[in-house]
């Protein structure tokens, strides 16, 4: 048996600058520790922000949570459309200002809106109470009586109509009703600081 058949194993030479050298591993481990520390600091800061603020940046509180839990009343009402030939006359009888009447009529002629009628009456017999009615970006003040009063309102094919008390004759509540295509609908009883929003569909 000679040396050519079984060559001697060669030992790998370790270089001081190689990645496995202890002096090279030290700085790299220190770098990993620094990155991990920064990541943990960022997570702690994020937990601090989300734990004390809501998504919008408003501080979370019990009052805010209670307000979010309260449902908003949006009864649905289907109301009749005013015939095309009666639009100008119906607006002239409304409580809108002359300027608003002209703007509403122009939008109606461009077929951008519909005009509907909402007959409304006071149900407790206190004649003379007034309400504010908002619809389509326009406002009018309407005096109620125990007889139905036809109120002209501009909306799109569907829209919101908001009713809120302005002046009360006696007591602290307002009881009113509106006549829909399906019959009389009694609105929720309102205090001076409350309002009701109807989801109206033009029929």
Q: What is the pLDDT of residues 44-90, one digit of tens each?
A: 443 433 343 333 333 433 333 333 343 445 778 899 999 988 999 99
Q: What is the pLDDT of residues 6-15, one digit of tens each?
A: 454 443 444 4
Compute the distance between CA of residue 175 and CA of residue 169 in angstroms, rounded to an integer.
12
Residue pair 85/108 in contact (Cβ under 8 Å)? The answer is no
Residue pair 181/78 in contact (Cβ under 8 Å)? The answer is yes
Question: What is residue 147's predicted lDDT score, i.e. its pLDDT?
Answer: 92
Does the structure show a pLDDT above 70 at 29? no
Domain segments of the chain as ranges: 76-202
Q: What is the pLDDT of residues 81-99, one digit of tens each?
A: 999 889 999 999 999 999 9
Question: What is residue 73's predicted lDDT score, i.e. its pLDDT?
Answer: 59
Token pair 């006359």 in the structure block, residue: 89
- Sign of the dihedral through C-alpha 190, 192, 197, 198: positive
Q: How far is CA 125 from CA 28, 142, 181, in A?
A: 87, 16, 24
């Amino acid at each position: 048996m000679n040396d050519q058949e079984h060559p001697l194993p060669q030992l790998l030479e370790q270089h001081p600058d190689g990645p496995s050298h202890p002096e090279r591993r030290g700085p790299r481990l220190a770098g990993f520790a620094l990155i991990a520390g920064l990541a943990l600091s960022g997570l702690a800061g994020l937990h601090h922000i989300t734990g004390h603020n809501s998504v919008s940046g408003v501080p979370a509180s019990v009052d805010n949570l209670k307000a979010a839990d309260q449902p908003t009343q949006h009864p649905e009402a289907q109301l009749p459309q005013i015939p095309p030939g009666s639009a100008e006359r119906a607006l002239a009888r409304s409580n809108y200002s002359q300027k608003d009447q002209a703007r509403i009529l122009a939008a109606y002629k461009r077929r951008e809106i519909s005009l509907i009628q909402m007959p409304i009456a006071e149900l407790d017999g206190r004649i003379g109470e007034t309400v504010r009615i908002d619809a389509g970006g326009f406002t009018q003040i309407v005096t109620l009586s125990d007889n139905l009063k036809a109120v002209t309102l501009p909306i799109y094919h569907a829209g919101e109509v908001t009713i809120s008390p302005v002046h009360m004759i006696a007591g602290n509540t307002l009881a009113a009703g509106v006549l829909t295509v399906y019959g009389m609908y009694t609105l929720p009883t309102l205090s001076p600081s409350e309002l009701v929003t109807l989801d109206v569909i033009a029929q």
